[in-house]
Amino acid sequence: MRRTKPLAALAVASLMALAACGSGDGPSDTETGDFRETDAGADKDPDAEGPAPELEGAEAGGTITVFLPGDYGPDDLDPTNGWSVTGNSIQQALTSRSLTQYRVDEDGNATLVPDLAVDLGTPNEDYTQWTFQLRDNATWEDGSPITAEEVAFGIARSMDSTAFPGGPGTEYSTQFFAGADEFEGPYTDKDTDWTEWEGVEFDNDANTVTINMSKPFPDMDYWGAFMAMGPAPLGKTSQPPAYGQNIMSNGPYKVESFTPQDELVLVKNDQWDPESDPARHQYADKFVFKFNADPDQTDQIMLSDNTESQTALSTDLSAASYQDALDTLGDRLVQQSTQCTSFIYPVYGKTDLAFRKALAYAYPYEDAWQAGGQVPGVTRVPANSIMPPGMAGKPDYFVDGEQFTFDIEKAKELLAESETPPTIDMIYYEPDPLAVAANEVVVKAYEEAGFTVKSTPVQESPYSTYLNPDDKLNKSLNVRAVAWCSDWPSGSTFIPALFRGGATYNVGEFAEDAIDERIAGVAELPIEEQAAEWGAIDEQIQTEFFPAVPTAYYNQLFAFGSKIGNPSGDEALGAPNYKNLFVMP
Amino acid sequence: MSAETAGPETLGHLSEEPKGEDPGSSKARTITGKSPMRIALGRLLRDKIALVCLAVVLFFVFIAIFAGPLQKLFGVTTETAFPTQFLNLDGTPRAEFGPPYGGFTWDHPFGVAPRTATDNLAFWLQGAQNSLQIATTATIVAMLVGVTLGLLGGFLGGIVDRIIGFVTDFFLTLPFILAALTIAPIINERFRDSPNYPTIQVIALIGVLAGFGWMSVARLIRGEVLSLREREFVQAARVMGMPTRRLLLKELLPNLVAPIVVASSLMLPAFVAAEAGLAFLGIGVTTRPSWGQTLNQGIGFFDNYPLYLYQPLIAIVAIVLALNLLGDALRDALDPKTRR
């Protein structure tokens, strides 16, 4: 799942130059906080049953306001199109159910539990067919029951890469589900009726859905926790793009109003049955999400503890307020670990190994974080591998024997060995002053290391340049950057998306047949060996080819008002744990 | 009730009668010998507020012209710094580098910026230079366009006047902020590859400011010309067969100096404020130091580091206020009929 916040994009742009730390000259007072790791919900409990356990002291009623500073939120609410941390964390917790889900305890530990299914699915021997038995008491917001056919239709929708180009189905459904060659999705494919597609079968009487795979897919239970693997009303009702502005809800809350990039108001859905749901609660009367809130204003509101802020929370506290928040908010300042890594990704075919290593030493890790508004050592720490901390199988190795640090002398030595011309062509996101500041620091560091740098400003997210193969500017770049977060706690959501030849977010155009084959081979291995194999692939990619410089692992800072009950985060999504929030009297 | 026997009205004139002056006396000669400009200057010099404002403006002009040498004098630069050497974890400067936690230090007389750790004095000086440079150039451009169109429209009349009037009205209907918001990203996108990108950004900004500033001048000048062209000296010059160009430049323009000076002196502060406002919105010049940018960055640190916000704020308020008051004083001095 890529980070879609413009702020993150900016961090990404600046990441081109950042690496991490410890360059020695920046003694930051680390006693104030440190980085945290997460396993992002690697635990499973197939027997969890509704209703979800009551929380201690929880009471019904009240309105919870959520400020999302610098975060534009989703453009539409269509479950099939959702592939951003913000949109999925809100909708999966409150409005849109799927096959499975995460239950998050008070410490933020996530466990995979059933949602619309009564268990976590039953795979066949080689994981090429998964059967989900659905529960009978789940309903839509109008009271009608959710049928197996509607769930199957929702799954068929995720095959439509044309109607939902930014949806997660483009990476998982079309890669793993059977018959992806013949079926382009219910809206694009006019020749095939979706019920004739071999990928999904349903039985309304037995209330089961069966998914057929083209290759083994042991992570189907995790993929089932995406709202894209949930039901969609049949026929015209769910026609995109209109459905995205006016969705049918089936969670504990339904949409009262939605203004993209501005506000989302959710109210209680009285048709939702707590008995049918092992993880969600329905405490607050109303949720109000304020997208793109002013960061400084939000910090002031949260620190003031007035009546407005007591029942509010902020999803991103800025570094400028960090010290104040530590003093005044105490444990209402939640430092949420996320499974994200950012990379500088030089174009593989245009650079040699010495050049890429020189880049790793020339990047001013901590300085770029600080100029970009991050708190070094808290919201960003140095990265040594592709896979982020907490992910099963994360290897512990250092490409050069020790952590890359900002070291101009080493960069110069390596650059002298390199046969690549010492020029860097990159871009940065100009509308954000933080991105501009980080870019300046990075350019200065590169130039001191002996690179000739051309950093071109862009007005939209750098991703829109990177992902456009016809863009003249994009073709001229030899250093790009990407920040990536896991979709579920497995290397399979990380390494193929970035390092498989031809993958969408493989912005460094890395392609080695040996690696592609090894990635394809993971699915054939016994499940318990897969995590270690991803770790080994990670190490092989970096130590043999070093295509990308990992610059940082991410943490987020959430601030909760003093009357919000159960202030905690959701490690599976790296967002506040909306499922368990309530207003204290 | 008895009235006062000796009220003022019964005593005849108390005020001094003007004595009949001998036209040949030395006093009369000095009065008649003053040119209108000297009279205006005399009025201006007696205006204490105007003099204080003039001093403030000259101070900033001095800073703007000598921004480079002044930075060398103080030993500061606008160069990018590596922030971790200077800052605390939350982005505020450490005590040894000056405010907010430390005292004054000659290394950084104004302190260093939070988050980026660049030197505040250098940015402040360079900001003054950029601000005044952009505002002055924009004023000159707007004046040239406005005066030319106003002269032509007013003097030629007829179809020319109608066309110029239409263009003026058209530009007046365009919303300034909206247009600036739209144009800036288009220009930035178009010229982002150019090695002269920073210069192009400045030129574009001057174009936007001047493009939305010339209309009031054009209207003002047209009105003045309309009244002037029916005067005897213009009619006489026409009858003598003076060519239009000479008429405009030699007869009309000198009579328009007062309104032009007044209009420019009031336009300048408007442009200084507009430049800072656009930079604050992030659509002005992004590649050079600007007071507006500093303002924008300072807001988040106001609680812990208010000085960082006050530096550009005080500068903008001081120069805009001084220029405005000076402009008013100039108008009063040049045009006694509008004196308060």
Question: Which chain A residues are closer than 8 Å to B286 by Cβ?
Answer: 430, 436, 457
Integer Cα distance of B340 and B332 in angstroms? 8
Could you say which of A299, A373, A430 has the minimum Cβ distance to residue B286? A430
Q: Residue A300 CB: number of other CB atoms within 10 A?
A: 18
Query: Model confidence over A272-311: pLDDT tens digits?
Result: 999 999 999 999 999 999 998 888 889 889 998 888 889 9
Backbone angles phi, psi at A250, to 5 degrees: -135, 5
Helix (H), strand (E) at residue B245: helix B244-246
| Cis? peptide before B100, omega within 30° of 0 | yes
Evaluated on CA atoms B146, B149, B154, B160, the torsion sign reads: negative
Check residue A19 and give its pLDDT: 28
Per-residue pLDDT tens digits for A143-184: 999 999 999 999 999 999 888 887 888 888 988 899 888 898
A501 to A345, A370, A385, A517, B184: CA distances (angstroms): 14, 34, 19, 10, 38
Determine which of A329, A367, A443 to mutate to test the interface with B (most B C-beta atoms within 10 Å). Answer: A367
Q: Which of B79, B85, B115 sits opposite A437 (nearest CB)?
A: B115
pLDDT category, B22, cuts 50, 70, 90? low
* Separation between Cα atoms, residue A314 and residue A311, nearest integer Å: 11
Strand order in the sheet with A110-114: A43-44, A110-114, A100-104
User: Is the predicted pLDDT of residue B160 greater than 70, yes or no?
Assistant: yes
Confidence of residue B320 (pLDDT cuts 50, 70, 90): very high
Residue range A505-536, pLDDT digits in tens: 899 999 999 999 999 888 788 888 888 999 99
d(CA A1, CA A573): 9
Which of B28, B33, B19, B51 is CA-nearest to residue B330? B51
Report DSSP state, residue A52: P
The alpha carbon dihedral of A375, A377, A383, A389 has a sign of negative
Residue that wins the pLDDT comparison between A227 and B6:
A227
Is residue A188 helix, strand or coil? coil
Out of A23, A371, A457, closest to residue B188 by CB: A457
Total count of residues recorded for chain B: 340
Tell me the chain B residues in contact with residue A457 when contact means C-beta distances shorter than 8 Å.
Answer: 188, 192, 197, 286
Q: How far is A468 from chain B (nearest CA, A)?
A: 16
Residues A273-290: b if buried by 16+ CB within 10 A, e if exposed? eeebbbbbbbbbebbbbb
Dihedral, A239, A243, A248, A252 alpha carbons, nearest 10: 140
B220 vs B223: CA distance, rounded Å: 5
Share of chain B above pLDDT 90, in %: 50
* pLDDT score of A22: 28
The answer on pLDDT for A430 being more than 70 is yes
Predicted pLDDT of residue A319:
85
Instruction: Pull the structure tokens for residue B263.
Output: 């209009």
Q: What percent of chain A has pLDDT above 70?
A: 93
Q: What does the pLDDT average to over A455-481? A: 89
For residues A141 and A254, the answer to whether their CB atoms sit within 8 Å is yes
pLDDT, chain A, mean = 87
A39 band by pLDDT with thresholds 50, 70 and 90: low
Closest C-alpha among B82, B119, B115 to residue B98: B119
The alpha helices in A450-540, defined as continuous H runs, are 462-466, 472-476, 495-499, 513-521, 527-540
Contacts of A295 in chain B (CB under 8 A): 300
Label the pairing between strands A569-570 and A575-576. Answer: antiparallel
Query: Which is higher by pLDDT, A281 or A25?
Result: A281
Per-state percent for chain A, helix, strand, coil, to nearest 5? 30, 20, 45
- Which residues, 6+ apart, have CB-to-CB distance to B273 below 8 Å? B316, B320
State the pLDDT confidence band at B335, using cuts at 50, 70 and 90: confident
Task: With beta carbons under 8 A apart, name residues in chain B contacting A28.
Answer: 84, 88-89
Q: What are the residue ranges spanned by the domains of chain B?
A: 46-80+118-334
* pLDDT given at position A126: 85
Residue type, B318: A
> In this model, does residue B13 exceed pLDDT 50?
no
Cα–Cα nearest to B287, from B109, B130, B71, B53: B130
* A320 contacts B82? CB cut-off 8 A: no
Residues of B in contact with A322 (CB under 8 A): 89-90
Q: Which of B84, B193, B293 minimises the CB distance to A370? A: B84
Query: Where do the domains of chain A lie, and which CATH numbers do they carry?
Result: 336-555 (3.10.105.10)
Give the end-to-end CA distance of chain B in Å, rounded to a whole number. 43
ipTM of this complex? 0.79
Instruction: Give the β-pairing of A423-429 and A452-458.
Output: parallel
| Residue B336: per-residue pLDDT | 67
Strand partners, A575: A570
Q: Could you tell me if A171 lies within 8 Å of chain B, comparing CB atoms? A: no
User: Do A342 and A552 contact (CB within 8 A), yes or no?
Assistant: yes
Q: Is B289 on the interface with A (CB under 8 A)?
A: no
Contact B192 A433 (CB under 8 A): no
A240 CB within 8 Å of a chain B CB: no
Cα–Cα dist A189/A184, whole Å:
5
Average pLDDT over residues B112-136: 93
Specify which residues B126 forms β-bridges with.
none
Backbone phi, then psi, for B196, in 5-degree steps?
-95, 20
Work out the pLDDT band at B312, boundaries 50, 70, 90: very high
**Residue A330 CB contacts under 8 Å (≥ 6 apart), including other chains:** none
Q: Which of B79, B80, B84, B309 should be substituted to probe chain A, the one whose Cβ sees the most A Cβ atoms within 10 Å?
A: B84
Mean pLDDT of B203-220: 93
Q: Which residue of B has its CA nearest to A294?
A: B300
Amino acid at A497: A
What mean pLDDT do residues A83-99 have?
Answer: 92
Token pair 């939902």 in the structure block, residue = A164
> Are residues A457 and B89, on separate chains, in Cβ contact within 8 Å?
no
Q: Of A136-150, A269-283, B89-103, which range is least confident?
A: B89-103
pLDDT at res. B25: 57
CATH, range B46-80+118-334: 1.10.3720.10
Flag whether pLDDT at B40 surpasses 90: no
Residue B299, Cβ neighbours under 10 Å: how many? Answer: 16
Span B111-136, average pLDDT: 93
> Among residues A319, A264, A262, A328, which one has the least CA distance to residue A296?
A319
Min Cα separation B296/chain A (Å)? 9
* A452 beta partners: A423
Confidence class of residue A4 from pLDDT cuts 50, 70 and 90? very low
Distance from CA of A443 to the nearest CA of B (A): 9
